[in-house]
Amino acid sequence: MIEIRWHGRGGQGAITAAKIFATAAFRAGYTGVVMAPSFGTERRGAPVFTSLKIAKEKIYDISPIETPDIVVVLDHLLLTEADVAKGLKPGGLIVLNTPKPLTAHDFDGMRVAAADVTALSLEAGLPHGVVNSGIIGVLCRALDVVPFDTVLGEIEAEFKTKRPQANAQAARLAYEKTIVEGA
Amino acid sequence: MHIIENGNVAAALGVKLAGAQVIAAYPITPQTPLTEKLAEFIEAGEMRAQYIPVESEHSALAACIAASSTGARAFTATSANGLLYMHEQIHWAAGARLPIVMCVVNRAVGAPWCIWNDHQDSISQRDTGWIQMYACDHQQIIDGVLKAFALAEATSIPVMLCYDGYLLSHTYMPFEVPDEGKVGRFLKPFKPPYALDPANPANLNTVTLPDVRMDVLGEMAHGYMEIRYLLQEDLRAALSVGQEIEDEFASIFGRGGNALVEPYRCDDADYVVVGMGSLTYQLRDVVEALRDEGHKIGVLGIRLYRPFPDQAVAEALGAVRGVFVIEKALSYGYEGALCSDLKAALYEHLVKGGGNGGPAEDGRDRGQPAFVKGLVAGIGGRDIRTLDLTDALRAGMAATAGGGAKGAPAEERPDWIGIKL
């Protein structure tokens, strides 16, 4: 089982991003998929997270992730606002949207995959601040379990009425520009 | 076709496939997305039904009662205090023998206000005469809506399909959307034995005297007591009707099987943990972890809570040392309602008759378990950690070790898993 926790801000589309990746994983043979948003009283802009578990078999335990293999962070400012690395397994992976060089962050020995998704999404033709398609490209570069073409297909399907090509292009650019560091 | 969606969407798709004709509902968290989805289907012309917006849950069910009385397939959904606000009409729908289906998206009851999951809302409606089903995942939600309409209409008794708020209602999982053609084979058009008709006006459910009496046609009419006796008899018969419907569903769709209880690794178990809803699926992983440590333990999910499957429960628990019942609700002042119901079933089937006849074919001794231990968890949406469940059950088994073949009795009062006092 692969456990991925997605951190974003209310309204930023972290749930949609997780759902796209979950659907692609399902199509790629991960029949066990459980995606549980943090429940309750989300406000726009406030830190939120969603849990995604994927496995080859049906998942019966839908309780929240405590020890993720991967955390996906849609906004680098969340690194200081929320304890995004909480419970991250030793050797775990942080997938990060950041405009800064990796040396500007302290990741306590964890593996990091990062790209400036905000800028690359603009370049792909998306409005400023839309990063939830692009971040999937960063994840796919560092986690090779779902064919990237399948993921791009799901991105276009999810955004079929909202700039499907630009969203897919954002993921493609992020995939190409991602820097992976660490063990 | 498989899709990945949340539990509320699974329920809405089920209602659409069932061809519900009248929907009346009032939004309440965490049920709201379900009724929004139905409103969308109707607005988009994907579903031919009348959506009646109402000012309260009491009116929502009143509208469904009226619709169902005229022979329409009626659906509503609610949660928590919304369900309690319906309470008078909930009794009415059952007494009037109307096959309404309602999804209860389980949520804690105020005060204090709490929007998160437990089972106090639906458990508090246990004695209203409705059938209550509990779903463990999205497949059981979407399939359950179809089975609920079939069961309601076969028995003329309304059905609550209960599923965990947030844990299922807002969680995304893959599930198969039943094929429309197969649904048509499974769920026949609703033809009620009697329907209100303006061409033949009638009074329904007027004041009914304590004793039987002649009606205007000179025929002996039931008194209140006879009407209520028949509700009870038909509810008891709904255990076998529910299983027949489950079998029919399984033969058409190739999934499902047991309408009453869902046992997992119970066959050789010394201990069985019993619960309802998504918790019982989470407990499968707990059972696996404890089995790896050498404990012979299984889990029994109660799928149909009313009518209570006493026989099936007693059969499943007849050879175990001890039973743990984990509930998300209480009968305040005593213990969990399921725990009491389960003890009554064991008394009826295992104690009163002196056990069910000594060693059975499998050589395992039959008789009452040494203990039934109640546990409370997840009240008001408190996270139920898999590790906490594992620890609680391991401790429960250790506390009752010894005491001969049947183990030692446990403390009587329920333990609260995860309480921080």
What are B37-96's pLDDT values in tens digits?
999 999 999 999 999 999 999 999 999 999 999 999 999 999 999 999 999 999 999 999
B405 φ, ψ (degrees, to nearest 5): -60, -30
Q: Note the pLDDT tens digit of each residue in B238-272.
A: 999 999 999 999 999 999 889 999 999 999 999 99
CB contact under 8 Å between B166 and A39, yes or no, is yes
B144 and B267 share one domain: no
CB contact under 8 Å between A33 and B173, yes or no, is yes
CB contact under 8 Å between A62 and B381, yes or no, is no
The Cβ of residue B128 has, within 10 Å, a number of other Cβ atoms equal to 20
Q: Note the pLDDT tens digit of each residue in A73-95.
A: 999 999 888 889 999 999 899 99
Residue B405: pLDDT band with limits 50, 70, 90: very low
- Domain final residue, candidates B186, B219, B246: B186
Chain A partners within 8 Å of B381 (Cβ): 39
Q: Looking at the predicted structure, is the pLDDT value of residue A41 above 70?
A: no
B132 and B19 share one domain: yes
- Domain final residue, candidates B157, B186, B215: B186
CB contact under 8 Å between A62 and B278, yes or no, is yes
Q: Note the pLDDT tens digit of each residue in B190-232.
A: 999 889 999 989 889 999 989 999 988 999 999 999 999 999 9
Which of A31, A35, A63 is closest, CB to CB, to B282? Answer: A63
Q: Of the candidates B367, B351, B368, which has an alpha carbon nearest to the alpha carbon of residue B359?
A: B367
| Number of compact structural domains in chain A | 1
Q: Select the residue from A56, A59, A61 to test the B interface by mutation, using most B Cβ atoms within 10 A.
A: A61
Q: Select the residue from B8, B32, B115, B171 to test the A interface by mutation, using most A Cβ atoms within 10 A.
A: B171
Which of A39, A40, A61 is closest, CB to CB, to B282? Answer: A61
CB contact under 8 Å between A61 and B115, yes or no, is no
Yes or no: say if B145 and B11 are a contact pair by the CB < 8 Å rule. yes
pLDDT of residue A11: 84
CB contact under 8 Å between A33 and B281, yes or no, is no
CB contact under 8 Å between A35 and B4, yes or no, is yes
CATH code (residue A13): 3.40.920.10
B272 and B177 share one domain: no
Scanning every residue of chain B, which has its alpha carbon at the shortest distance from the alpha carbon of A51? B171
SS3 readout for A38-66: CCCCCCCCCEEEEEEEEECCCCCCCCCCC
pLDDT of residue B356: 47
| Number of compact structural domains in chain B | 2
**Residue A67 CB-half CA count within 13 A:** 7
B36 burial class (0-12, 13-18, 19+ CB within 10 angstroms)? Answer: middle
Which strands, in side-by-side order, build the sheet including B22-25? B50-53, B22-25, B74-78, B101-106, B159-164, B131-134, B304-306
Mean of per-residue pLDDT scores for chain B: 93
B293 and B392 share one domain: yes
- Domain final residue, candidates B137, B164, B186: B186
Chain B partners within 8 Å of A21 (Cβ): none
Q: Could you say which DSSP state residue B171 is in? A: -
Scanning every residue of chain A, which has its alpha carbon at the shortest distance from the alpha carbon of B4? A23
Complex ipTM value = 0.92
Scanning every residue of chain B, which has its alpha carbon at the shortest distance from the alpha carbon of A30? B174
Which of A37, A41, A60 is closest, CB to CB, to B170? Answer: A37
d(CA A99, CA B222): 78
Q: Max alpha carbon distance in chain A (Å)?
A: 41
CATH code (residue B289): 3.40.50.920
What is the three-class DSSP state of B51? strand
B26 and B162 share one domain: yes
Instruction: Give the range of the structural domain holding residue A39, as residue numbers without chain letter.
Output: 2-181
Instruction: Give the range of the structural domain holding residue B78, as residue numbers without chain letter.
Output: 2-186
Between A and B, how many CB-CB pairs are < 8 A? 58
Which of B170, B284, B385 is closest, CB to CB, to A63? Answer: B385
Which of A23, A31, A60 is closest, CB to CB, to B282? Answer: A60
CB contact under 8 Å between A26 and B4, yes or no, is yes
Chain B partners within 8 Å of A14 (Cβ): none
Q: Note the pLDDT tens digit of each residue in A101-124.
A: 888 777 777 899 999 999 999 999
Closest-CA distance of chain B to residue A104, Å: 35
pLDDT of residue B367: 67
Residue B247 lies in a domain: no
Closest-CA distance of chain A to residue B280, Å: 9
Tokens matching residue A124: 């792909």
CATH code (residue B142): 3.40.50.970
Residue B196 lies in a domain: no
Chain A partners within 8 Å of B172 (Cβ): 19, 22, 33-36
Q: Max alpha carbon distance in chain B (Å)?
A: 72
Cβ partners under 8 Å of residue B363, min gap 6: none
Closest-CA distance of chain B to residue A58, Å: 9
Residue B265 lies in a domain: yes
Scanning every residue of chain B, which has its alpha carbon at the shortest distance from the alpha carbon of A53? B173
